[in-house]
Amino acid sequence: MVDYLIIGGGLTGLLAARELRLTGAEVLLVERGELARESSWAGGGILSPLYPWRYPQAVTVLADWSRRHYVRLVADIQAESGLDSEFIQNGLLVQGSDESDQALSWAEQRDVEMLRVNAREAAELEPRLGLAVDGLWLPQIGQVRNPRLLQALIESCRQLGVQFKENCPVEELLYQDDKVTGAKTAKGDLLAKSVVVAGGAWSEQILAELDKGLGVEPVKGQMLLYKAEPGLVQRIVLSGGHYIIPRRDGHILAGSTLEYMGFDKTLTEQGRQQLQLAAEAIMPALAEVPIVNHWAGLRPGSPDGIPHIGMHSRVEGLYISVGHFRNGVAMGPASARLLVDLMLGREPIVDPTPYAWKI
């Protein structure tokens, strides 16, 4: 029997496993497939919600805390793992928003640097834009190369002594009286003093007997990857709900679709064309750049995008961190820290009330 069993090998589960292991606890993380190959891997790695002023405060509180702590976190993980997460603070340029007044008011309240820019200034920030228009510039916003971050985090957890079981789907949770005791899997029972469900889009299935309306559902997002020479794109650029993200080595991500198709991750020509047209409208030079990958992931959709983080009110030892929707990477560090604060009875980093498991 371990101290903590974590169900789900995405960013939230891995960060929680690392945090718990740093306290000296024995931690086992079980993943239905390969570690870190679902939503956390598939996204873009922008360390901010898109159009953050549109989100409920409960989302931006977690995103703000995470943004302030990412530099230290990735440095610590690199020291533990020897792997670079490729954190870059290259700013977010929002093109053509008609919500400037609302956005600037939001930024002032949250102490986020945001500047109104005209078309000329936008073109100076990103010279190869197809059509530079008035917009907003958020210089503090950065990115991580999320597959690299996940690789580094897995290695960090291994070095710290976290145990892993991959390709091991959880069939049901185990209980004795009103206390969780572990989980039943296809490879046998796993026993633990406490259990965390961080299973992404699959969390509803794991919690089927207890879920009374979490509203977590899979939402497909398709992405494209271009391979250009480094420097073609300098900034993260957001326009009309689509974005492009430049990596250090010249790769450029273009995303993303938003599709309610259940657990179907099938790639579609319609999705590819939508992403290609949007990306090349933002940056016409991409039309001359090869597309080297096209993939899809399943986001853990939730009402308003507010995750559920906390303890079950009737089942002792059972915790969840689910429903991060489109902002799992942006909110990940704060979500994991808040979860572990609640598990260990520490002073929580933020008010946990908006995230409570309401049953």
Tens-digit pLDDT profile for residues 328-345: 999 999 999 999 999 999
Q: What is the mean pLDDT of residues 242-252?
A: 98
pLDDT tens per residue across span 154-184:
999 999 999 999 999 999 999 999 999 999 9
User: Is-contact 226 281, C-beta < 8 A?
Assistant: no
At residue 358, does pLDDT exceed 80? no
User: Is-contact 33 201, C-beta < 8 A?
Assistant: no
3-class SS of residue 146: helix
Between CA 237 and CA 141 the distance in angstroms is 11
Indicate the pLDDT class of residue 186, thresholds 50, 70 and 90. confident
Between CA 204 and CA 39 the distance in angstroms is 15
For the domain made up of 1-88+142-215+305-359, give the CATH fold. Answer: FAD/NAD(P)-binding domain (3.50.50)
Between CA 92 and CA 48 the distance in angstroms is 9
pLDDT value at position 359? Answer: 63
pLDDT tens per residue across span 36-54:
999 999 999 999 999 999 9
Q: 176: closest CA among 160, 150, 195?
A: 195
Least-confidence region, from 34-38, 121-125, 175-179, 355-359: 355-359
At residue 208, does pLDDT exceed 90? no
Q: 198: closest CA among 24, 27, 26, 23?
A: 27
CA 108 to chain centre: 25
Contacting residues for 277 by C-beta, under 8 A, at least 6 apart: none
pLDDT value at position 357? Answer: 82
Indicate the pLDDT class of residue 106, thresholds 50, 70 and 90. very high
At residue 209, does pLDDT exceed 90? no
Least-confidence region, from 7-21, 148-162, 202-216, 234-248: 202-216
Q: What is the mean pLDDT of residues 296-315?
A: 94
Domain boundaries along the sequence of the chain = 1-88+142-215+305-359
pLDDT tens per residue across span 109-119:
998 999 999 99
Query: Average pLDDT over the chain, rounded to whole?
Result: 96
- Angle in degrees, 0-180, between the axes of helices 57-81 and 146-160, rounded to the nearest 10: 60
Q: What is the mean pLDDT of residues 271-291?
A: 98
Indicate the pLDDT class of residue 211, thresholds 50, 70 and 90. low
Between CA 263 and CA 54 the distance in angstroms is 27
Contacting residues for 69 by C-beta, under 8 A, at least 6 apart: 333, 334
Q: What is the mean pLDDT of residues 100-129?
A: 95
Between CA 338 and CA 279 the distance in angstroms is 36
Between CA 312 and CA 298 the distance in angstroms is 25
Indicate the pLDDT class of residue 212, thresholds 50, 70 and 90. low
User: Is-contact 189 54, C-beta < 8 A?
Assistant: no
